[in-house]
Chains A and B, each alone.
Chain A
Amino acid sequence: MASSAAATAQPLDRTRARRRAAWRRRRLVLLLMAPWLIGFSAFFGYPLVMSVYLSFTHYDLLSSPKWIGTANYRYLFTQDPQVGEAVKNTLWIIAVMVPLQVVFAFGVASMLARARRGVGFFRTIFYLPALAPPVAATLAFVYILNPATGPVNVLLKHLGIDGPLWFQSPSWSKPSLVLLGLWGVGNIMIIFLAAILDVPRHLYESAELDGAGPLQRLRWVTLPTISPVILFSVVIGVIAGLQYFTQAYVAANVASGQASQAGDQTVNNLGYPEDSTLFYPVLLYQHGFRYFNMGYASAMSVMLLVVAFTITVLIIRNSLRWVHYVGSAK
């Protein structure tokens, strides 16, 4: 009897010991993850939840938030006269700048991958603009593209061409920002370069033996192999486009000739010229921090999150058709 009781107790003890060990492991994992968990909750989770809550309130930053239901969303979707323009501008910058950046970065990376001499020098030169702070880079571009005194238009004038108004013109302000975006494409370019250099040589050799020319090798070897990097660049580019702010803010203030008053809230140059650089985040900033309409700005930011999430999901789902992962069953 006693021996059978001992036999039952032994597995029980082992189970308990296993559980204790498992709990200790979990505790250790939790402890090691604690800094991240705390950071995530404090700087992402809490602000996210608060933004959703504030989007249903009237909140001027100074008084307590007041619940107003869906009024902010109704104004956003039906009445705000500037939101349509801001969405249009944002979609424009995504539709034009992201593909151009990807193509340009790929093109530069392809050339750099073929370089035989001065590889380090050219890689540095093409990457360097990515290190320039966005504010400084924008200031430089507004100066270079100044329609009256900028070197670009001066040069064009010598060639007998009446240069455009660049940042001063509603038709040219966004293309000017695209030029700035292409100039600073170094980060994407370096990822493309790594991906291109990583394409197995034997694939090219096999393709060549099969009689594939340079374009065919590009289409059937390079692009499929680096497709995960293309997907990454597109997703990151689209999210950056949805959050496009700094360059637009600086360019509008400087080009309008009132940069010295950028911090002066009595002057409103955002969107200059003619709201052509009024991107969604710029309008959001204007409502939240210039007009103290933080409840409405929160509603705008919630919608931005929803749109960013939806677009990302759509791109990733669509990518199943054209992205190939090395070693995957597909």
Chain B
Amino acid sequence: MRRVGIGLLVALVLGAALVAATARNSATAGTSGAKVDNITIWVGWSAAELKAFKGVVAEYDSKHSDVTVKVVGGINDDKITAAIRSGKVPDVVSSFTSANVGSYCNSGAWIDLKPFLSKDKIDVNMFPKTSQYYTQYKGKRCALPLLADVYGFYYNKAMFKAAGLTSPPKTMSQLASYAKKLTKKNSDGSIKVAGYNPFLGFYAGNAPDLSAYAPLFGAKYVDGSGKSVISKDPAWSKMLTWQKSLVDWYGYKKLQKFNAGAADEFSASHAFEIGKLAMMIDGEWRVAFIGREHPSLDYGTAPAPVDDAHPELYGAGYVNGTIIGIPKGVKHKDQAWALVKYLTTDSHALAIFSNGVRNVPTTKASLTSSDIKPDAHFKTFLKIFANSKSTTTPITAAGNAYGSLIQAFAVKWQAGHAGDLAKGLQKLDKQIDAQLKQAQAGGVP
């Protein structure tokens, strides 16, 4: 009898366990239809810009009950590369360094987006040519553009008025002449207010690789076969000669001291914002910075002045931007693509993000979207972006390594340490060609 009792007890326990297990399985099966996937996106933005991006993603989240998106900010390319190498990747990655697209596409580290684009019948012509260019490498499209940075011209209207100037300069000779008129010096001869600071390395508009100036002189980097043509294209020597003549007018050492006394370009004491600089070339983001930090500043924006011999270039400018893609080894490929597609092609998403960070939206349709908040200063950059003569820097196997060679020469040139310009540029061509050849050895063609 006792044995029967024990047997019954065991049977009851086993039965209860079986029922519980079945119930749990059916519960899981029952919710599988509404299963929520967690996906992660890595972005480079931080602080206020990250907040704006999270706002866009939150809107996506609210429209898609099947996914929850986690946004991680402050990411750079080192972290992206390390994650891909370790195999523990987020579902979507984005990078500020479009120059690295060659490595990402060619190595397959960012997966080819062509099948997704074809499946969803998305024509990449919805993006302007420049953005199409810096999101692929030799026809392999592993990235899409997510807002662009566009360089234009800023000028202090109050200072213009005081100097009797009525409109922004349209040519480089006008820029030099205005710069001299607007410059004010202290009693000891040091620069109090710089009309225009041409010093390479001073703020983003004077990037020492000359990237912001090249489109304004129509300067070409490479020929059809990918060989460096810096010494053959007269635009480069013209550009460097113009730049150095203005540096010499100020005095190299005086400009160095002025630069050393100027605040960091991403601080609220930026020289243009506090009236120590009358004109500058800078990215569209400055509109948001001024709006936040010095809303009362009386300034205007315009396309940057161009080479006197090429007035047809007026309206163009330097463009680069954030790229976004899907890393290899991703778990939720379809969900990742859906998010990439939304962020890069949805006019509304692009417009509200653009409003938040005041970067330029990257589809042709979004440039004219009614969601874009009207802003006369910012509108200039939308036009520069849409201009067919706006260009970016070449995407190469060596990333932007060629830029460091241009920079090494250009900064020596402005200091008067580079010797003969023509010979220096010829040497530079050889160095860039050798560097590209070295980068192409083995894997990256």
Contacts and interface: CB of A to CB of B under 8 A. Distances in A.
Contact of B85 (A62, A68, A258): A62
Q: Please report whether the interface of chain A is mostly helix, strand, loop or mixed according to DSSP.
A: loop
A268 to B, nearest CB: 5
B212 to A, nearest CB: 12
Q: Bin the interface of chain A by size.
A: 35 or more
By CB atoms of chain B within 10 A, which of A75, A257, A286, A295 has the most?
A257
Contacts of B399: 290-292
Top-8 shortest CB links A-B: A58-B442, A148-B261, A66-B442, A62-B107, A62-B109, A63-B107, A81-B431, A79-B434
Interface stretch (B48-56, B65-73, B92-100): B92-100
Contacts of A255: 260
Interface stretch (A91-99, A225-233, A235-243, A271-279): A271-279
A169 B320 CA distance: 31
Interface stretch (B9-17, B172-180, B202-210): B202-210
Interface of B: 76-78, 81, 84-85, 96-97, 99-100, 103-104, 106-109, 201-204, 207-209, 253, 256-262, 264-267, 320, 398-401, 403-405, 407-408, 411-412, 415, 417, 427, 431, 434-435, 438-439, 441-444
Interface string A61-99: 111101110011001000111100100000000000000
Contacts of A266: 96-97, 99, 320, 400
Contacts, number: 154
A269 B266 CA distance: 16
A129 to B, nearest CB: 24
Nearest to B78: A289
A38 B107 CA distance: 33
Contacts of A13: none
A124 interface: no
A58 B441 contact: yes
A32 to B, nearest CB: 33
Contacts of B257: 147-148, 165, 168
A81 B202 CA distance: 24
A60 B107 contact: yes
B441 A62 contact: no
Contacts of B84: 62
Contacts of A148: 257-258, 260-261
5 contacts: A147-B261, A148-B258, A256-B201, A260-B266, A296-B438
A58 B208 CA distance: 28
A165 B411 contact: no
A147 to B, nearest CB: 5
Interface string A125-156: 00000000000000000000011110000000
A293 interface: yes
Given A63-B107, A146-B261, 16 more contacts: A62-B104, A62-B107, A63-B108, A68-B442, A72-B441, A82-B404, A85-B408, A168-B260, A170-B417, A257-B201, A257-B202, A258-B265, A263-B76, A266-B99, A289-B78, A291-B398
Nearest to B80: A62
Contacts of B104: 62
A15 interface: no
A169 to B, nearest CB: 7
Contacts of A292: 81, 100, 103, 399
Interface string A9-22: 00000000000000
Contact of B201 (A61, A272, A289): A272
Contacts of A267: 204, 207
A57 interface: yes
Nearest to A289: B78
A212 interface: no
By CB atoms of chain B within 10 A, which of A63, A259, A261 has the most?
A63
A148 B262 CA distance: 9
Contacts of A57: 442
B261 A149 contact: yes
Contacts of A291: 398-401, 439
B76 A265 contact: yes
B260 A147 contact: yes
